[in-house]
Amino acid sequence: MLKRWLCLALCLALCPLLALAEEPVVYPPEEYAFQGAKVVRTYEAETLKITVTRFYLDEVTCYLSKIWVKEPARQIRKVTAEWRKNIKLPRYMAEDIPEAALIVNGSGYVSPTYPWIPENYPGTNEDYYYTPLGSLTVTDGETFRDLEGVPYYGLALDEDGIQMYVNADNAAVMATHPVQTWSFYVECPVIRDNQDILPAEWPFADRQARRTVIGRVNRNNYLILSVTNDGGNGLSLRRVSRFFRKHFNMEWVYNLDGGPSSALLFRKKGSTKMVTIMGGSAKDADIMAFVE
What is the spatial distance between Cα 281 and Cα 229, in angstroms, rounded to a whole number?
A: 14
Instruction: Say how far apart CA 189 and CA 237 lie, in whole Å.
Output: 10
Q: Is 153 helix (H, G, I), strand (E, B) or coil?
A: strand
pLDDT over 70, % of the chain: 92
Residues 121 and 110: their CA atoms lie apart, in Å, by: 12
In DSSP terms, 33 is beta-bridged to: none
Per cent of the chain over pLDDT 90 is 88
**Average model confidence (pLDDT) across the chain:** 93
Q: Is the predicted pLDDT of residue 64 greater than 80, yes or no?
A: yes
DSSP 129: T
Q: How confident is the model at residue 19 (pLDDT cuts 50, 70, 90)?
A: very low
- pLDDT above 70 (res 49): yes
Does the pLDDT value for residue 6 go beyond 80? no
- The mean per-residue pLDDT over the stretch 62-88 comes to 98
Q: From CA 84, how far away is CA 107, in angstroms rounded?
A: 14
Instruction: Evaluate if residue 12 carries a pLDDT over 80.
Output: no
- Reported as type and span, the H/E element at residue 261 is none
Full-model pTM: 0.92
| Domain segments of the chain as ranges | 53-291
Q: What is the pLDDT of residue 25?
A: 93
